[in-house]
Structure 1
Amino acid sequence: MEILSSRILVRPTDPATSLTFYRDTLGLAIHREFPGGTVFYLGAGLLELSGRGTAGDRANLALWLQVRDLETTQRDLRERGVTIVREAREEPWGLREMWIADPDGVRIVLVEIPENHPMRKDQR
């Protein structure tokens, strides 16, 4: 199987609130819009908000987003009124992480990869 591109699909319970969160609060750039949906850039990936979901357990879903500077990101999000679910800290595996959640409770893990981490050295 050859994968040419990919995106994460999120079916929000309140599309307008989720659109505001991802577009305005997080400041994600829009890749494209279509009737009933918006696709955002996520670095080399894409996030599509479309359709309407139902409330349910989102515990098995998380977005992993790499940022350049986690401390600055945490400060900026806090200033925008985003609730920090877990403060920025260094994990045992060497990454710096903090957690937030979208309006439906989808966990968003914001990650800074330190200069000396193996993920920076092996860029296959």
Structure 2
Amino acid sequence: MKLQGLVPLLQVFDMPESVAFYRDVLGFELVEHSPEIEAAEGHYFHWCWLRHGGGELMLNTLHDAGERPPARDPARTARLGDDICLYVGCADLDGAWAELQARGVASARAPVTTPYGMRQLYLADPDGYGICLQWRA
């Protein structure tokens, strides 16, 4: 069996907010998306595919049109950071840290060097999914 690539699919509460985070904060490119709809929650699409360098990611709305509650479930958001973390290679962690601070990403933590020889910077997306930018120390 020959496999090629691995693309996570994340369920998100607010698609426009999530796309803005991955595109405007982390620099992902929007590659493709489902047809746009107009719903009580606003104008958006249910699914999209994003790419940054060799990394790819898909986002899908957690709720169907007209069924989204007024706010995220804080218990679900807290759990996601514990259960799911996307590890992404980033050679310039100091530069990434400076960019995240300049963009006001409150969830970002300063880079640290681990006992296992990696330098890592953790942050979370709007839904609480963990993201670790890392490089060998």
**TM-score of the superposed pair, with normalisation by structure 2:** 0.74
Q: Once the 2 structures are TM-superposed, how far is the Cα of residue 84 of structure 1 from its aligned partner?
A: 4.1
The separation in 1 between residues aligned to 2:107 and 2:14, in whole angstroms, is: 21
Q: Which amino acid is the alignment partner of residue 28 of structure 1? A: F
Flag structure 2 segments of 5+ consecutive residues without an equivalent: 36-45, 64-71
Take 1:113 and 1:28, find their aligned partners in 2: how far apart are those partners?
23
CA distance in 2, matches of 1:33, 1:80: 25
1:33-44 pair list within 5 angstroms: 33-35=33-35, 36-44=46-54
- In the other structure, the counterpart of 2:20 is 20
Aligned with 1:76 (options 99, 117, 121) = 99
Q: 1:42 deviation in Å?
A: 4.2
Q: Structure 1 stretch 97-106 or stretch 45-54: which is displaced more?
A: 45-54
User: Cα offset for 1:83?
Assistant: 1.6
The C-alpha deviation readout for 1:97-117, integer Å capped at 9, x for no partner, is: 011100011111110224xxx
Q: Which structure 1 residue ranges, 5 or more long, are not aligned? A: 115-124
Distance in 1 of aligned mates of 2:51 and 2:109: 24
> Which residue of structure 1 aligns with residue 43 of structure 2?
none
User: Hey, what does 2:3 align to over in structure 1?
Assistant: 3
Alignment of 1:43-122 (within 5 A): 43-52=53-62, 55=73, 56=76, 57-58=79-80, 59-114=82-137
Identify the range of structure 1 (44-53 vs 10-19) with the bigger mean alpha-carbon deviation: 44-53
Amino acid at match of 2:54: A
What is the one-letter code of the residue matched to 1:91? Answer: T
How many angstroms apart in 2 are the aligned matches of 1:101 and 1:84?
Answer: 6
Paired with 1:19 and 1:8, the residues of 2 have a C-alpha distance of 15
Contact 1:23/1:30 (CA < 8 Å) preserved in 2? yes
In 2, are the aligned partners of 1:7 and 1:46 still within 8 Å (CA)?
Answer: yes
